[in-house]
Amino acid sequence: MALGAKAHTLYGQTANSGQLITAAPRSKFNFTASMDTIDGPVFLERIANVTMPSYSARTQTLNSYNKKKIVQTGVDYSPIVLTAYDTKDAYFENFLKDYSNYYYAGTMNTDSLTEHNLQGKGFKLQQDSNYIKTLVITRVDSLKEKQINIITIFNPTIAQIDSDTLDYSDSSLVQYRINIVYEGFDIKTAKAQ
């Protein structure tokens, strides 16, 4: 029997009136995101999207008396891509400037050509290696008994910042796209308080 024949039961479409539907899929747009940084919280209310964390297992194929044996040797986390709007109040731009200023001299933070020519450049050693402590993605459903899903990403580091292309023939919104690498993540689901 195909899944389609059982979908109405599997996803709770046969539930009686007033009965809680627990297996409904989550919607993509019901989320918020925030970062805990050394300078305090950064609320990512002006973002277009963020990818959820994912990983792939490193494997190695061994030969055991002419039989293949696959062993797992580790985990590789896939980068998170976050797309944020470039708003007129420069909220996300200022976060990127603070982040860059924490790690690098001269990047995104030079006021004049003279300062640029005289100021030292390069990586700054810091006592605390992580400007961003956590990235938290919170998903809330819209059912009567709300469930909350919290994804916490540990020690995220921005690996790449891509600015948008300005174009006279395009009227879409300007965005920043950043790639984030991280050391681990946790996912928890519970009823909202």
The amino acid present at 95, given as its one-letter code, is F
Give mean pLDDT, residues 149-157.
96
pLDDT tens-place string over residues 12-28: 656 565 555 666 778 88
Q: pTM of the full predicted structure?
A: 0.80
Residue 187 has pLDDT above 70, yes or no: yes
- pLDDT in the model for residue 66: 86
Q: 4 vs 1, 9, 10, 17, 21, CA distance in Å?
A: 8, 10, 10, 23, 18
**E strands in the chain:** 31-37, 40-43, 47-50, 54-64, 67-78, 80-85, 104-105, 122-123, 132-140, 147-154, 157-163, 175-181, 184-191
Structure tokens at 53: 């964390």
Which range is least confidently modeled, 59-63, 87-91, 108-112, 155-159? 108-112
- pLDDT in the model for residue 85: 96
Give mean pLDDT, residues 98-124.
76
Q: Which domains does the chain have, with CATH numbers?
A: 21-191 (2.30.110)
- pLDDT in the model for residue 1: 43
Are 131 and 37 in contact by the 8 Å Cβ rule? The answer is yes
Give mean pLDDT, residues 101-123.
74
d(CA 179, CA 177): 7
Question: How confident is residue 90, by pLDDT bands cut at 50, 70 and 90?
Answer: very high
Containing H/E element for 6? helix 3-10
Which range is least confidently modeled, 83-92, 112-121, 127-136? 112-121
Which range is least confidently modeled, 68-77, 102-111, 152-161? 102-111
Relative to beta strand 80-85, strand 104-105 is unpaired
Question: How confident is residue 70, by pLDDT bands cut at 50, 70 and 90?
Answer: very high
Residues near 97 by beta carbon (within 8 Å), at least 6 away in sequence: 108, 109
d(CA 77, CA 68): 26
- pLDDT in the model for residue 122: 74
